[in-house]
Homo-oligomer: A and B are copies of this chain.
Amino acid sequence: MEIPPVVIDRLPLYTRALSTLDEEGRDVVSSQELGTLLGVTPAQIRKDLSYFGRFGKQGRGYNVRKLLDELHHILGLDRQWRMAVIGVGKLGRAILGYEGFTPQGFRIVEAFDADPKRIGQLIENLTIRDANDLEKILLKSPVDVGIVAVPAVIAQNVIDTLVKCGVRAILSYAPIPARVPQGVYLKRIEPVLALQSMAYYLKNSPRSTAAASRS
C-alpha cells in the first residue's frame, strides 16, 4: 500500500504533541484533544493513523506512550541518523549549535567548509573539514543526511556531490530549485518564499478584517 506524502508529513507533528503529553504524564489522549492541540481535525488524525494499524481503543482514545512508540517505529525515529553539514557560515554555525536535532536522533557527525580560514576550526566539538575532501571522508564515514548551507551558486554542485557519495536525504537551505535523482529525498527550507507568499495576503486583506490563516 502506498501512503500519501501529506500523511507522512503530518506524522512528525503527532509525535511532537505526543512527546509533550508524555512528559506531562498523560496516559491517554483522544483524537479530539490531539486535534485541537495541533489545529487538525480529529477525523484527519484517525484516518492518518489507520494507514498503519489500529492503535486506539473505542470509548477511550490512544495510549500516549504506545502510540508514540508506534509512530517512532513507523517513521524510523527509533534509531540514530548521521548527518553532515556543508557550509559553516552564519547559518551553518547556528545549525551546528542547535540542540533540537540530537534529542530526536539526528546527530551531526561531520562539518565541511571551503574557506581555508575556517577549515580545521573546532566548532561545537566538530573539526571543520575541507570541502574538497567531502567525497573521500563521506566514503569512509557515511552519513544518512546532508544539510546544505552553502551559497546558492554552488548549492547544486554540493548536492550532486552528496548524491554521488550515496547520501539519500538532503535538507537544503539554499534558495534554488535543486534537482535530485529518483530515490533521493530533498526538503528545502525557504524563508524568503514563505515571506513572499504571506505578502500576498497582507496586501490583499484589509487591516483587522477576518480572513483565513494558514501555516
Interface residues of A (CB under 8 A from B): 5, 8-9, 11-13, 15-17, 37-39, 74-77, 81, 90-91, 93-95, 97-98, 100-101, 104, 106, 144-145, 166, 168-169, 171, 175, 177-189, 191-205, 207-215
Number of copies of chain A assembled together: 2
| Chain A interface main SS type | mixed
CB distance A205 to B183 under 8 Å? yes
Closest to A203 in B: B76
A189 proximity list for chain B (CB < 8 A): 189, 191, 194
Query: Are the C-beta atoms of B171 and A194 separated by less than 8 Å?
Result: yes
A126 CB to nearest chain B CB (Å)? 15
Which residues of the other chain, B, contact A213 by a CB distance below 8 angstroms? 180-186
What residue in chain B is nearest A89 (Cβ atoms)?
B94
Docked Cα-Cα span, A15 to B196, in Å, equals 10
A100 and B13 alpha carbons, distance in the complex (Å) = 29
A179 contact set on B, CB distance < 8 A:
39
Residue among A16, A171, A194 with max Cβ neighbours from chain B (10 Å): A194
Contact B39 A203 (CB under 8 A): no
Query: Please, how many angstroms separate the alpha-carbon atoms of A38 and B29 in the complex?
Result: 42
- A169 lies within 8 A of B201 (CB): yes
